[in-house]
Amino acid sequence: MTTITGNLTKDPELKYFEQSGTESGRLRVAVNRRVRKDEKWEDGPTLFISIEVWGQLARNCKISLGRGMPIVATGHLVHSEWQVEGEKHPRTQIMLKATHVGLDLAWHIASSRKTDPMDKRIQALNIPASDVSDLYDLIISAPPESSGEEVTDITAMTVPVGDGSPMEEDEPGF
């Protein structure tokens, strides 16, 4: 197992595989090491690492994380190599296949809600049932800001939050 900490260089990407019904996500992280030089701390060289996530973890990363956020990721390092036609030497990449990803709380304060992967729900958020799928699909399918497509700012949406008591079985939630 390997753990890395760093800042996301862009918003997490999410791909849906229709045949298997699962999602895959990719995160790109810049990792800096601080080094002491002449009585001062300076940034050392930056290492860029790709992180691959699957299933509910991929969905949660897409919904919860954004460019610039400091994260902690744990998983296994894997090496891949491929040949590009016309190039003499093969290309290689080392990637972290993550089993766990979280916000680095050394720099942020966070709250959490448990998700239900079957219903695409987040416990204790009382969103009307008719809005649940639309909101989830909006978050997942939002095009990157640089794509030129119209983007809905979901951060401006208000979501009524319950009093903290557990939801009834038939109460809708996201």
Q: Give the model confidence (pLDDT) of 37-55 as tens digits.
A: 888 988 888 999 999 999 9
pTM above 0.75, yes or no: no
- In terms of domains, do 102 and 135 share one? no
- In terms of domains, do 99 and 135 share one? no
- In terms of domains, do 34 and 53 share one? yes
Domain that holds residue 40: 1-110
pLDDT at position 123 over 70: no
Q: Give the model confidence (pLDDT) of 56-103 as tens digits.
A: 999 889 988 999 999 999 999 999 999 999 999 999 999 999 999 999
In eight-state DSSP terms, residue 87 is -
Domain boundary residue among 84, 110, 136? 110
The radius of gyration computed from the CA coordinates of the chain, to the nearest angstrom, equals: 19
Q: List beta partners, residue 116.
A: 121
- In terms of domains, do 145 and 157 share one? yes
Q: Give the model confidence (pLDDT) of 134-158 as tens digits.
A: 555 555 555 555 555 554 444 444 4
Nearest-5° Cα angle at 17, 97 to 119 = 90
- In terms of domains, do 96 and 145 share one? no
When pLDDT is cut at 50, 70 and 90, the band that residue 13 belongs to is: very high
- In terms of domains, do 138 and 91 share one? no
